[in-house]
Amino acid sequence: MTSLNKNGFIVFLFKGFLILVTKKIITIFYALSLLSQSQIALSSEQLIDIYNNPTKEQNIVYDEQKNQQEWIRVNIEEKDKDEVLKKLEIPEEYIGGIEEIFTEVRFEELKNKKSTITADYNYGDLEKIYIETNNKTLILEQNREGIFVLTECQNPFQYKIVKQKIRAYQSVEHGFQENGISVNLTQQYNKIFEKILSKTKNPKLYFDAEIIYKKVYLNKHPIGEGNIIAAKYSDTENSRYAYLWDKEKEEYYDQNEYSVHENLLIKPIDSNIITGKFHETRKVSYKTKKQKNKITYKTIIDKKTKRKNKIKISTPTYLTIVKSHVHKGVDYPASIGTKVRAAGDGVVQFTGNAGAYGNLIEIKHYDGMVSYYGHLSKFFNNIMAGDEVKQGDLIGYVGNTGRSTGPHLHYEIRNQDGNEINPLMVNTGKGKTIPEYDKIQFKKLVKEMNTKFDENIF
């Protein structure tokens, strides 16, 4: 290659390098101008993509705008104040002011009204807190002085009726999780069809689940779900329906106008495993009082004198008797801290330590039956004798207290005569019915929901 050709090649490379550098500089200036206009943080890859493909700018900017807002929604029915603040991820500098507001609006009353709190964040900064009760919405936001002020406002939330159908092969949890259904809706469905799900003998068989519920939106963004309005369970043998009628008590009725919850819950915790069956015979060893000492003799040789000496040895003895013990309830194994719920409406008769039962709660129900919850680690919210509870209310947490071989709930039910009965067989009759004056409206609801079940829209 001649020197002339070499010089030409070098000039060509130099020009190419200048073009690339110029293009990069133009890209940077374009990115800076875009940032100043949109006020949106984009990655360098996105900025270069926008430069090379200007038509993508609108889509990328829109996607990033959606990520500016974040909402955290918490139902405070069973939570204390500190737990709510933690779940809402309230910054430490705001906690003091918000706690004062919670005192002002009487936090315990909000719990009783099954209120919901939504924290609205913008770019990670807390902007507003919405408190929804049954009949009004409160908004908590900072004034110019940076002090949180509470005011009443019109409901800012929008609602949309949504239907979803799921086929579950192993369990409700597995089927719902695979289909992206939230934990909240999964727990609601479990509670509605608690009786039939607890009696499923072969978990390998599939069943179909359908739910109709309200999806909650704020500023056109989905932020959570409300209660299930209607639900359906179908397997190879039959179909069951449930419709929400009493919203305050979260009471569901079937198509025949009977409550799906019937009398008492079969399992007051989220567990399908039973380790201790009803009236199971167990052998227990008991040591009686000390008996006469057992006398034995031992020969010892003295090393110095080489003489044999007999030593009298007295050994205390005890008489051990093995007795058969009949298990009076059902044992559900679970980790310590698992929530335990009231099996039905009633009044608490006893809370405290009860010997072999450990920490125990007794609830007398309105039909005269009494339910027992043993080996608890602690009681919920200082629950005590005389307190009224509703079916499904949180009353305590699984533990390992008393005569227990491991963390579990001992669940026991006794009838009006004080005789123990099998908790798995207690709900043989039908539950309560819809009041006569509500039946016409309830039939309209059933017809409307069944029409939605029949639609092929998901």
Residue 307, domain member (yes or no): yes
CATH code for the domain of 120: 3.10.450.350
Is 162 in the same domain as 239?
Answer: yes
Max CA separation in the chain (angstroms):
123
Residue 26, domain member (yes or no): no
pLDDT per residue as tens digits for the range 131-190: 887 778 888 888 888 788 888 888 888 888 999 998 887 678 888 888 888 888 888 898
- CA-closest candidate to residue 253, choices 229, 227, 226: 229
Q: What is the pLDDT of residue 172?
A: 82
Is 202 in the same domain as 226?
Answer: yes
Question: What CA–CA distance (Å, rounded) separates 416 from 274?
Answer: 25
Among 324-333, 389-398, 447-456, which stretch is predicted with the lowest mean pLDDT? 324-333
Query: What's the pLDDT band for 41 if we cut at 50, 70, 90?
Result: very low
Q: What is the pLDDT of residue 87?
A: 81
Is 132 in the same domain as 175?
Answer: no
The domain of 306 spans 283-325
**Higher-scoring residue by pLDDT: 455, 49:** 455
Is 291 in the same domain as 346?
Answer: no
Whole-number percent of the chain with pLDDT over 90: 19
Is 137 in the same domain as 205?
Answer: no
Q: Which residues contact 425 (CB under 8 A, 6 or more apart)?
A: none
Is 379 in the same domain as 414?
Answer: yes
Question: What CA–CA distance (Å, rounded) separates 53 from 39?
Answer: 20
Residue 363, domain member (yes or no): yes
Among 220-234, 241-255, 420-434, which stretch is predicted with the lowest mean pLDDT? 420-434
Last residue of a domain, one of 109, 140, 155: 155
Residue 7, domain member (yes or no): no
Is 168 in the same domain as 198?
Answer: yes
Q: Compute the average pLDDT of residues 333-358.
A: 91
Query: What's the pLDDT band for 58 if we cut at 50, 70, 90?
Result: very low
Residue 40 three-state SS: coil
Q: What is the pLDDT of residue 246?
A: 77
Is 145 in the same domain as 225?
Answer: no
**Higher-scoring residue by pLDDT: 62, 434:** 434
Residue 441, domain member (yes or no): no
State the total domains in the chain: 4
Q: Compute the average pLDDT of residues 307-315.
A: 73
Is 171 in the same domain as 230?
Answer: yes
Is 80 in the same domain as 167?
Answer: no
pLDDT per residue as tens digits for the range 86-119: 888 888 888 888 888 777 777 777 766 667 888 8
Residue 301, domain member (yes or no): yes
Is 102 in the same domain as 145?
Answer: yes
Among 129-133, 204-208, 292-296, which stretch is predicted with the lowest mean pLDDT? 292-296
Last residue of a domain, one of 155, 186, 214: 155
Is 337 in the same domain as 406?
Answer: yes
Question: What CA–CA distance (Å, rounded) separates 230 from 209?
Answer: 11
Residue 447, domain member (yes or no): no
Output the pTM of the full model: 0.55
Task: Write out 358-418 in H/E/C secondary structure.
Answer: CEEEEEEECCCCEEEEEEEEEEHHHCCCCCEECCCCEEEEEECCCCCCCCEEEEEEECCCC
CATH code for the domain of 417: 2.70.70.10
Last residue of a domain, one of 123, 155, 187: 155
Residue 269, domain member (yes or no): no
